[in-house]
Amino acid sequence: MTAALVFIPQVKINQNTSDYLTDESEAKQGLIIIEEEFKHISLNNSAKVLIKNHAIEDILKLKMQIQNVNGVQQVIWLDNFFDLTITPIEFIPDGLKANYYLDNKALLDITFIEDANSTNSKNAINEINELLDNIGGVGLEPRNVLEIGNIAVIVAIIILLLIIILFTDSFIQALLMCFSLGLAIVLNLGSNIVFGSISKITLMASTVIQLAVSIDYSLVFFKNLKKVRENNSDINSSIIETTKISFKTILASSLTTIAGFLALGVMNYKIGTELGFVLAKGVFLSLITIVILLPVLVKLFIKSIDKTKHKSLLPSIGFMSKFIHGKVSYIILIFLLVLTFVGYYGQLNNEYLYSENHIEYNNIERDIVNSFGEYNQFVLIVPKEEKEKELGLVGEIYNIDEIKSISSIYLLPEDTPDEQKKMFLGDNYSLIFLNMDLEKESDITFSSIKRIRDMADKYFDESYLIGESAVIYDVKEIVETDYLFVIIISMVAIALIIFITFKSIFIPILLLLTIQTAIWINMSIPYYQGTKISFLGYILISSIQLGATIDYAIIITENYEKERKANLPLDAAKKAFKSSNQAILVSMLALIIAGISLTLMMDMDLIKELGILISRGTFISGVISLLFLPQLLIIFDRLIGKTTLKRDVKK
């Protein structure tokens, strides 16, 4: 554990999405060229400054004050192109003026000395915002979502720990659970050193999800311990017997969860691969601590566990077992089939988003976009010193309606300083800077990216269009091929584990269809709401929900099969419900709260959406597992018997 704590600060956070693209990605190849040949250029250090309702002379004074702010490299406005002391603003060409002055609002281009997310740049932004208080401010700068993400993770973990304490029946028992699972989380975070760095998505999601999906392992252990101790007063033999009884269920649950996460490893978009491996590693470590460490801790603190017993605050829903009935089962089956069709159809017709770090515009930014349009920046990299080809390409691109501005080495005035020319020329390549009135992500944006790349291919054998939207476009091209592989591999792996666990052919089919129906229902809701859903979130949740909530179905079925040895199907289903609902409810509550915490406290769209999908998907999976699955086990009991090896049940 000490080593893990030492390693945790050494794990770097990679905020560069392009690093996770395949080597064939044009945006990734282009960014590598920028890093190698244009190290003096930062593509992440610019922003806009809005000044409202001020005379030209006042705007120029404010511009000089902004230029003198520590951390500001350059401020560009109309006076950089015309001498406004002798040229009335009415005589400036509309094409140029529209980018800098409209409706009594001035828009300035600002470049920081360092990255926009650096401390110096943030201080500069704050100083400028204070200077322009109530008359404008800085907007459209790149923003780091990591800091608030760390807070969200901490809050989510605290809430989950409170759930464990409140909804178990012994304070010391809860503390032992927290310690065991906390140790597993620390080991997982420290062992991430093997990756060198992890994405912010992995950092924010993995810890909370690991804790939430692992809670039911310890709950199963303590529930079985309580049953064993009713007939065995010797604590040593009780713990040994409990460990043996619990191991099968915990192992099956953890292995199916691990399989679901590992299935993400086939993704070409490596953020999914990384998140899957980290989550799988975390669940495995949770399994080890629960099976090996927790029994030892229980033995050491059993007296304290008994002394600190209290009534669980989680209300019992055992009374709902009376709704489990043979005649009701067929109604449930028909209802579930209808839900399956509705869910499958809805998720099949979803519209998708492909970015993961979109941040909603603030008031200043909405004002800028409403008045001046979008400012979507691209850089086109082409071979150096091919003037005719570059000018031909620039001329063709200039005719695109969405182009706001275009800059090339061959469009600069003859007296341009050499220092400024360095922005355009490297050892082997030339840069063309494009500013377009396009949303960061839309069908028009994607078609414009493809159009520009096709234009460049006509002029050059080698060219690279980069920019945030270009990266999103390449992500889109990659992840759309990932989904089918992830789902097939996760379902096959989980089915195999369930088959080995229950030695049954039909049980894996029944459980997978049950949870898959819950996934389809969860994923169909955006379609029926008329909203778009992140495609990466769709892939991740399809695997996470399957891997995490298949545990509920396994616990119900495991208890049903135990009860069938001495009971007929109806009684076995009722007893399985009663013995399973508490562990499942606490686990559900943990995952739901984890998701809600991420949703409420995150600014990153993908993490907010993951939180919503996790919470909603957990609830749907839990309801179907608790209320529908026992009914289905009654209906298909004979089929289960015919497809299960050496099934010992009451006739």
Measured from the Cβ of residue 362, the count of other Cβ atoms closer than 10 Å reads 14
Cβ within 8 Å of residue 62, ≥6 positions away: 51, 54, 131, 132
- For position 356, what pLDDT does the model report? 67
- For position 378, what pLDDT does the model report? 92
Averaging pLDDT over each range in 93-102, 247-256, 476-485, 514-523, which range is the top one?
514-523
- For position 151, what pLDDT does the model report? 63
Closest alpha carbon to 462 in 377, 393, 376: 393
Give yes or no for residue 639 having a pLDDT over 90.
Answer: yes
Helix (H), strand (E), coil (C) string for 42-91: CCCCEEEEEEECCCHHHHHHHHHHHHCCCCEEEEECHHHCCCCCCCCHHH
Closest alpha carbon to 289 in 299, 297, 301: 297
Distance CA 163, CA 313 (A): 10
CATH number of 363-477: 3.30.70.920
How many degrees, rounded to 5, is the angle at CA 383 between CA 380 and CA 388? 90
Class of domain 146-349+482-642: mainly alpha
522 — pLDDT class (breaks 50, 70, 90): very high
Contact 294, 176 (CB under 8 A): yes
Q: Which of helix, strand or coil describes residue 13? A: strand
Arithmetic mean of pLDDT, 531-553 = 82
Taking the CA atoms of 605, 606, 612 and 616 in sequence, report the sign of the dihedral they define: positive
Arithmetic mean of pLDDT, 509-529 = 93
Q: What is the pLDDT of residues 269-302, one digit of tens each?
A: 888 889 889 989 999 999 999 999 999 999 999 9
pTM for the predicted model, two decimal places: 0.77
Arithmetic mean of pLDDT, 192-197 = 89
145 — pLDDT class (breaks 50, 70, 90): very low
Give yes or no for residue 444 having a pLDDT over 80.
Answer: yes
- For position 345, what pLDDT does the model report? 94
Residue type, 231: N
Every domain range in the chain assigned CATH 1.20.1640.10: 146-349+482-642
Distance CA 358, CA 441 (A): 9
- For position 323, what pLDDT does the model report? 78
Closest alpha carbon to 47 in 478, 362, 422, 480: 362
Arithmetic mean of pLDDT, 604-623 = 84
- For position 338, what pLDDT does the model report? 94
- For position 330, what pLDDT does the model report? 87
Closest alpha carbon to 432 in 450, 405, 459: 405
Convert 18-30 to b/e letters by CB count within 10 Å (16 or more is b). bebbeeebbbbbb
CATH number of 45-139: 3.30.70
Q: What is the pLDDT of residues 356-384, one digit of tens each?
A: 666 667 888 889 889 888 888 899 999 99
Closest alpha carbon to 455 in 508, 539, 393: 393
Residue 104 or residue 484, greater confidence = 104
Contact 476, 353 (CB under 8 A): no
148 — pLDDT class (breaks 50, 70, 90): very low
- For position 604, what pLDDT does the model report? 65
Q: What is the pLDDT of residues 207-260, one digit of tens each?
A: 877 877 787 788 888 888 888 998 888 899 999 999 998 888 888 888 888 888
Residue 543 or residue 2, greater confidence = 543
Every domain range in the chain assigned CATH 3.30.70.920: 363-477
Q: What is the pLDDT of residues 384-437, one digit of tens each?
A: 989 999 999 999 999 998 998 888 888 877 777 777 778 888 889 999 999 899
Report the share of the chain in percent with pLDDT over 90. 35
Closest alpha carbon to 525 in 358, 268, 299, 343: 343
- For position 79, what pLDDT does the model report? 87
Q: Which of helix, strand or coil describes residue 29? A: helix
517 — pLDDT class (breaks 50, 70, 90): very high
Radius of gyration of the chain (CA): 30
Closest alpha carbon to 47 in 138, 120, 123, 143: 138
CA distances (Å), 295 to each of 21, 241, 242, 298, 543, in order? 44, 11, 9, 5, 31
Arithmetic mean of pLDDT, 315-323 = 76
Would you state the torsion angle of the CA atoms of residues 636, 640, 641, 643, taken in this order, to the nearest 10 degrees? 140
pLDDT, mean over the chain: 86
Q: Which of helix, strand or coil describes residue 139? A: strand
1 — pLDDT class (breaks 50, 70, 90): low
Give yes or no for residue 180 having a pLDDT over 70.
Answer: yes
Taking the CA atoms of 124, 128, 129 and 130 in sequence, report the sign of the dihedral they define: positive
Tokens of 401: 């309606």
Give yes or no for residue 574 having a pLDDT over 60.
Answer: yes
Give yes or no for residue 539 having a pLDDT over 60.
Answer: yes
Complete DSSP assignment for 424-439: TB-SSEEEEEEEE---
Closest alpha carbon to 312 in 622, 614, 624, 581: 581
- Identify any residues that bridge with 47 across adjacent strands, giving them in sequence order: 110
557 — pLDDT class (breaks 50, 70, 90): very high
Arithmetic mean of pLDDT, 506-510 = 94
E-only strand ranges, 155-230 = 197-199
Among left, alpha and beta (phi > 0; psi -120 to 50; other), residue 196 is left
Give yes or no for residue 341 having a pLDDT over 90.
Answer: yes
